[in-house]
Chain A
Amino acid sequence: MRVALLSDIHANLEAFEACLAHAATRGVDGYALLGDFVGYGADAVAVVETVMRMAAEGAIALKGNHDAAIERSESYFNEPARAALDWARETLDAGQQRFLAQLPLIAERPPAFFVHASAVAPQRWDYIDSPRAARRCVDAAGQTHTFCGHVHEQCLYFGTRNGRMGEFRPQSGNPIPVRASRQWLAAVGSVGQPRDRNPAAAYAMFDDRRLEITFFRVPYDHHAAADKIRRAGLPASLAYRVEAGI
């Protein structure tokens, strides 16, 4: 079965739809939505509606730190991020807010483990930003294939004989064999706000039968998404980040 792994959509409907359409042409069988459906972008309602519909049809949907901040605001967000969250809180209806509040932090489907940030205390929202953090995460997950978002950059970590992890920056569209003889952690990138100076939406696809993971970059109309952010009266820096991929 081929599972599309989509994370950090951040209320960017154009990017989300582009990735779903792309996955459909690649024979996708299921979806794992790894959290952060809201924040930064201008389409919180439409994105959450889509996620609710997909979850009802069996998709895995996890809670991200921005989703958690809808029910309980956190002080660690920077000013523009907090403005977007305040705006999302006003626009989402009670049912949508309840949906976000009840989302789980992790999902386990052996041999796969899904989490938004890190399997080590998921509610702490630690970043997988080094092989050491990746090692701690896969140890806590206890599965051979762990998938996360939160860092907004695509990366594949792999276990080595000496107990550490290696780090690999994947190229879009190239299937990588991920055999179960070692541990793997894939940071799948961000659909709605990539940060590697490439505005194309990022997601990945895991084939649990062939044991392959493919990372994708999907160009979409990021100028339209940025314009919506400006028209919604959200901070201009958020629109610029979507346009520049930063």
Chain B
Amino acid sequence: MPTLFGPGDSIDGFTIGDRLHAGGNGYIYRVAPPAGNDPAFPLVMKIPGVGPGEPTLGVVSFEIEQMILPQLTGVHVPRVVAVGSDPMRPYLVMEEIVGDGLASMIARAPLPPSEVARIGAALADAVQSVHRQNVIHLDLKPENFILRADGSAVLLDFGFSRHALYPDLLAEEKEFAAGSAAYVSPEQLQSNRTDLRSDVFALGVLLYELATGEPPFGEPATYAGMRDRLWRLPVPPRKRAGAISQKLQEVILRCLEADVDRRTPSAAHVAFDLRHLDQVQLTHNADLRGGARLRRQARNWWRARRGGLLPTNPAANARAPVILVAVDTEHPDDGRHPELQRAARAIIALNAEFRLMLVSAIRAASLGEGERIEDSASGKHLEHRFRLRTWIEPLRVSPSRLSLHVVESAHPAATILDLATSNHVDLIVIGAPDPGDRALAWWRSVAAEVTAGAHCSVHVVRVPERGKLWEAAEGGSPAGASAADTPGQQRPA
């Protein structure tokens, strides 16, 4: 039987101090680091509960956490300092996260809608960060989130998680539905542990609780009670807390869709929606009452009863990228626009599910004679917004997948990079000048700077040098012919 250690004991140089927590997922002690090996932040040791009266599942959960947590990096997970190598004395030493537990915030719910959006976006950031690292958490609940003083969220307890590149040690434990009753997704109840969107569902439950003070499906004690969520629609949050806007309700309910293919496709999209509520498109969720509500519940119930396992679409699960296209609306007649549109069209055609951000970084407004600041700035914004809408129109992107951003900036590259980072952008599409084009050096520096500084892929679009090709083929280029060949002049943007 593995040994359980206690305060005063020492293991591999770590001296065990006070017990901070005892629960189903094991014991947590404060520990002092080995002499001369201080990582300079406070440490805790996690030890699984073993022995008589402890669930054997705790040992498996601990093994999973030992496997996954050390692989994760970034500010949204605790840093791992040591992993016990002796299978008979398992332990995990990690950074102690200092901050407010999400549980204490939910205890104060309902919170003002702006708080719900702010906290919710921070939670979604943390979830997106682990999703990017091939991990689905599968047990999101208030006890597993801590919010640091700077507002960012840290995700704890990876004992039920799944790493795409590792064997799933819980996959064969069929008698057990991982997750906590109030938060578990419909597909987890059906033993599906492969869908990132299961975490989106749990995020929806947390948002709902923050906004209304109550969990949307209660806290059922039985499996049959949990299965209700396969078809039952939650009471619309606005019915429980009037201050919630239609748009916030829309975001919450879309996370809670029982059908994964109707659910918000990724945590990044949830974070995006919560940060840009003004751009959220209302759907049937906005006004879900009376007959419409009953009809949808009946349809869900019938499908859940008949189908057993809800169909999930692995292709949609694979990627639901956020794509940022930088559009130079200050030069609407530029020859690169059709090329940029063509690239954007090709890229979105490759993705079943996506979010498209159109960004125009314009130079700070210069005032004309007798103009007031407000008039000139807002007028300029409206004009560029209109140009963005005109630009995207031929691509026929559904408004629910599209957002328009006009940002005034003295440093367009830095602005684009900031937007990309804070919105979990997966791909930036940006135009670059022709190598010989000196007149538009401004663009060149933006494309170059964005490419160098981006944390994601960058698709740099250039107009092919038709003139040069013509010369090579014909041994001379009539100026008129090559100009007429430039796509920008045939199809004005």
Which positions 153-206 of chain A face chain B at CB distance < 8 Å? 156, 158, 160-162, 164-166, 168, 170-171, 174, 176-177, 179-182
Q: Describe B's contact surface by its main secondary structure.
A: loop
Stretch at the interface among B120-128, B168-176, B282-290, B417-425: B168-176
Cβ of B90 under 8 Å from chain A:
yes
**B residues within 8 A CB of A166?**
167-169, 171-172
**B residues within 8 A CB of A177?**
66-67, 166
**B residues within 8 A CB of A168?**
166-168
Cα(A158)–Cα(B167), bound, Å:
8
Contact (A179, B165) CB under 8 Å given A160-B173, A161-B56, A161-B173: no
**B residues within 8 A CB of A171?**
165
The answer to whether A158 and B169 touch across the interface, beta carbons within 8 angstroms, is yes
Which positions 128-161 of chain A face chain B at CB distance < 8 Å? 156, 158, 160-161
**Interface 0/1 of B59-103, CB less than 8 Å to A:** 110010011000000000000000001010010000000000000
> Count the A residues whose beta carbon is within 8 Å of the partner chain — how many?
19
- Which single member of A162, A164, A174, A181 contacts B87 (CB below 8 Å)? A181
Query: Which chain A residue lies CB-closest to B63?
Result: A181
Which positions 65-122 of chain A face chain B at CB distance < 8 Å? none
Residue from A165, A170, A171, A179 having most chain B Cβ neighbours under 10 A: A179
**A residues within 8 A CB of B175?**
162
Q: Chain B nearest CB: distance from A244 CB in Å?
A: 26
Which positions 166-204 of chain B face chain A at CB distance < 8 Å? 166-169, 171-173, 175
The answer to whether A180 and B168 touch across the interface, beta carbons within 8 angstroms, is no
**B residues within 8 A CB of A180?**
87
**A residues within 8 A CB of B85?**
211
Q: Chain B nearest CB: distance from A223 CB in Å?
A: 31
- Which single member of B66, B165, B172 contacts A160 (CB below 8 Å)? B172
The answer to whether B90 and A181 touch across the interface, beta carbons within 8 angstroms, is yes
Which positions 378-436 of chain B face chain A at CB distance < 8 Å? none
**B residues within 8 A CB of A211?**
85
Cα(A60)–Cα(B440), bound, Å:
66
**Interface 0/1 of A19-42, CB less than 8 Å to B:** 000000000000000000000000
**A residues within 8 A CB of B59?**
181
Q: Chain B nearest CB: distance from A143 CB in Å?
A: 14
**B residues within 8 A CB of A165?**
172
Cα(A211)–Cα(B90), bound, Å:
14
Contact (A176, B167) CB under 8 Å given A160-B172, A162-B172: yes
**B residues within 8 A CB of A160?**
169, 172-173
Residues of chain A touching chain B, judged by Cβ–Cβ distance below 8 Å, are 156, 158, 160-162, 164-166, 168, 170-171, 174, 176-177, 179-182, 211
Query: What 19 new A-B contacts, CB under 8 Å, besides A170-B165, A182-B63?
Result: A158-B169, A160-B169, A160-B172, A161-B60, A162-B175, A164-B172, A168-B166, A168-B168, A171-B165, A174-B165, A176-B166, A176-B167, A177-B67, A177-B166, A179-B63, A179-B67, A179-B87, A180-B87, A181-B90
* 22 pairs, A vs B, C-beta closer than 8 Å: A156-B167, A158-B169, A160-B169, A160-B172, A160-B173, A161-B57, A162-B172, A162-B175, A166-B167, A166-B169, A166-B171, A168-B166, A170-B165, A171-B165, A177-B166, A179-B67, A179-B87, A180-B87, A181-B59, A181-B63, A181-B87, A182-B169
